[in-house]
Chain A
Amino acid sequence: MSTLLTAEYGVKNIIKSFGGAKALSDVSLSVKSGQVHCIAGENGSGKSTLIKIMSGVHAPDSGQIRLGEKSFSELSPREAVREGVQVIFQDFSLLPNLTVAENIAIPTYISRNSLFFSKRETKKIAESALDLIGVDLDITASVEDISIASKQLIAIARATNLGVKMLFMDEPTTALTRKEIKHLFKVVEQLKERGVATVFVSHKIDEIQEICHTITILRNGEVVADGLMKDFKRDSISEAMTGLNISETRIAPPLKETTEKVIEVKNLKTKPTFSDISFSIAPGEILGITGLLGSGRTELAEAIFGQYPIDSGELIVGEKSIQLNSSSAALKAGIGYVPPDRLTQGLFLEQSILRNLVAVGIDQYQGKGKLLSKNRLTEAGEKWIKDLRIKTKNPSNPVTSLSGGNQQRVVLAKWLAMNPKLMILNGPTVGVDIGSKREILEIIRDRAQEGMAFLVVSDDIPELVQICHRVLVIKNGKISKSFDELELNEEILYEELS
């Protein structure tokens, strides 16, 4: 243990370019065993390149990788694993059709070069791995049936079992509830005690301040700041990440007094997900809905868009009551919906940016004889790219070529193009970096000023406080509290949630 405690892991003077573009220039960082380090940076800052160099996916152009006593000019993936470098990717790399035990144990079998596979041995390997990190799970369950938080614990158990010395966790808290994050942090404490050097890659500043001792901030492939976490303030971290002084002050536009309602929801109910849901939204109003994961907030948003079945209740748009049974009915009534998982639900990933931009409401672009007019399509697409400041060199590139923040803008543009009366945004800035986030919120603000109503479903409290006129808190499927503009602040919301 004592030798482990003094070991250091990291890189020195790493340079890496891809086809002329510099991804990392002279990057150094060092993590001591038993410490938790944070790598912060926006998308494209070089975080993932750095992880790939340390895990042996890419070879650096120059520089050194230091793992304890040893020093390497480059690593193969196999060497990286042998030297104890493990990465937990955002998708966890688990096999949904196999059991928890199998997912944990298979790499151990492979490292032993075993030909045979025994249930009893698998159980033993899995149980001891889970013990190491102090976690109790049903190891006979199929991975597809367990929660995201459990999947993450399995990925950690698997890494620990392979003798991890340096563990990278890529955005580990994105899909977790606060309670699950607390549990994850406890597990990280266990790793610390075992002398593992843990690296958190994240841009959730609250969390990294809570768990990390040291921090390295990357911007455009360079280290712009590093040091002890306690020497950094919230603002200084985000400033270093973006190079801008981005404020998190309220930007919600003033709300005009009106009795007009864009939408009125009356006694919406679906057992057991939610019940007694009533509220209304005025033109230009931005209403926030928050709640823990599983509180029913997502289902509620989907129900208003006709994608989640309801038992009873009424939805009045304008003067008319509409049937909540299909998304096309909702669309016709002027309701748009941007889903939380833009990658699977909101975009045609392989198609061009342009085509994605014009996909909703494609009928508007008909020219002569009902055929689509290519000129009109291009015109409309280019207008959106300019309006929403989507950063791309060529609009005919596939959407996958864009960063997360820009992809989210494409989704937004797609729906804004329909000019809905009410726009439902579910997690509008999930996985988006700070700079882009501010810009997305500004887009929402500008549209609200023009009279579009918004329903923002989010668990990002600072974001809700910045943009909303009113926030409803959902607990166990019921509206537990409503905060108006005057009452709204972060503490009060956190308190209501916990």
Chain B
Amino acid sequence: MNYKKLLRRNETALIIAIVILSAVIGAKSPEFFTLANLFDVFRSSFVQLLFALGVLVVIISGGIDVSFPVVGIFSGYSAVVLMQHFEWNPGNILLPVALAILIGILLGALNSIAIASFGIPTLIATLGTSGIFRGILLTFIGSSFISDIPLALDKFATADLLKIQPAEGTLARLHVLIIPIAIITILVSLMLNRTMFGRSIYALGGGIEATRRLGISVKRTQAKVYMFVGGISGLAGILYVSLQRKANPYDLAGSELDIIAAVVLGGASIMGGYGTVFGTVLGVILISLIKGNLILLGVSGSWQRAAIGALLLIGITVQAINESKKAKNRRVSTSDEAAE
């Protein structure tokens, strides 16, 4: 009960932070409180959120994956290259999406082999594979910028679910992705809370030896986790390519900071075992707000990374403080029990 309360407090804190930040930004720039801007925040969060959901799952399992941005752009770029090479030009984006997810799962499987079969620590394993993946991408698949991406992907960038023209101001466009992204988010939440795979992920984050003794296969769970991250990163990668309307193999590098910061601020414990989808959604929104609007507050673009880095450290510090508070409470409560 205690940790649930704590998480809830963490999520409340995030909501408050988002509200305050919005108020400050809104005071500086009235355009902020327009539908158009709200929809823009959504649009810029889609890809981030997908990556973040993948990272959430790994972090809950007690590991970390820093190869996901490379996996994302590798999958997205390769799917485009493949389609151009074979001159596939389907009418919708199902083919490129399926291709990218498959490539992502494949790359994730390589991570799984390094981690589950060889037992390499997760940070080192994914750091190594991210170098390998990037090398393969730039050497064998392509290092040039592709601006004429397949038509279906290009058109999807402007596929709006609804357009609202307010009496004055800019046209507000809500991208159709809001629906699949919402569904995926709910599915990930259901997976974590309502399937044995999901509970095994939490178990793994709670302790490897105890998980093994419960009869859960540690290796199989780990393998699935890294393949899941690969797949969801592949999806994020192809959607990124589509929304940008270009495929640049140098993109997304360095985005791991934003994503990991969002997940940790969302309350996932870097030590594993804790984390919720709702918290992650809030974390992503907060980071998006900062990235998109800090400039309105007179903070220069180059300081954004510093700000996000600082937020990541704050998030982890809060976790550490809560942890030691909890330890102290536990102590007092055992004394109380004895006093009865």
Contact = CB atoms under 8 A, between A and B. Distances in A.
Contacts of B205: 97
Interface in A119-166: 138, 140-142, 144-145, 147
Given A93-B213, A272-B335, A272-B339, A145 B195 contact: no
A110 B214 contact: yes
B201 to A, nearest CB: 11
Chain B interface, >50% SS class: helix
A81 interface: yes
A443 B32 CA distance: 75
B216 interface: yes
Contacts of A96: 206-207, 273
B211 interface: yes
Nearest to B3: A142
A463 interface: no
Contacts of A273: 332, 335
Nearest to B212: A93
Given A272-B339, A476-B339, A145 B330 contact: yes
Nearest to B4: A142
A97 B202 contact: yes
Nearest to A140: B1
A58 to B, nearest CB: 16
Given A115-B195, A145-B1, A294-B338, A95 B211 contact: yes
Contacts of A140: 1
Interface in B171-206: 193-199, 202-203, 205-206
Interface residues of A, number: 38
Contact of A107 (B215, B331, B338): B215
A477 B338 CA distance: 10
A246 interface: no
A494 interface: no
Interface in B303-340: 326, 330-339
Nearest to B205: A97
B2 interface: yes
B337 A294 contact: yes
Contacts of B1: 138, 140-142, 145
A329 interface: no
A293 interface: yes
B159 interface: no
Contacts of A118: 194
Given A97-B202, A144-B3, A145-B330, A116 B213 contact: no
5 nearest A-B pairs in the assembled complex, by CB-CB distance? A294-B338, A95-B206, A97-B273, A93-B213, A97-B206
9 contacts: A93-B213, A98-B199, A106-B203, A111-B215, A141-B2, A145-B2, A177-B338, A292-B338, A294-B334
Interface of B: 1-4, 193-199, 202-203, 205-207, 209-211, 213-216, 273-274, 326, 330-339
Given A115-B197, A144-B330, 11 more contacts: A81-B215, A95-B210, A95-B211, A110-B214, A114-B196, A115-B195, A145-B330, A145-B333, A272-B339, A294-B336, A294-B339
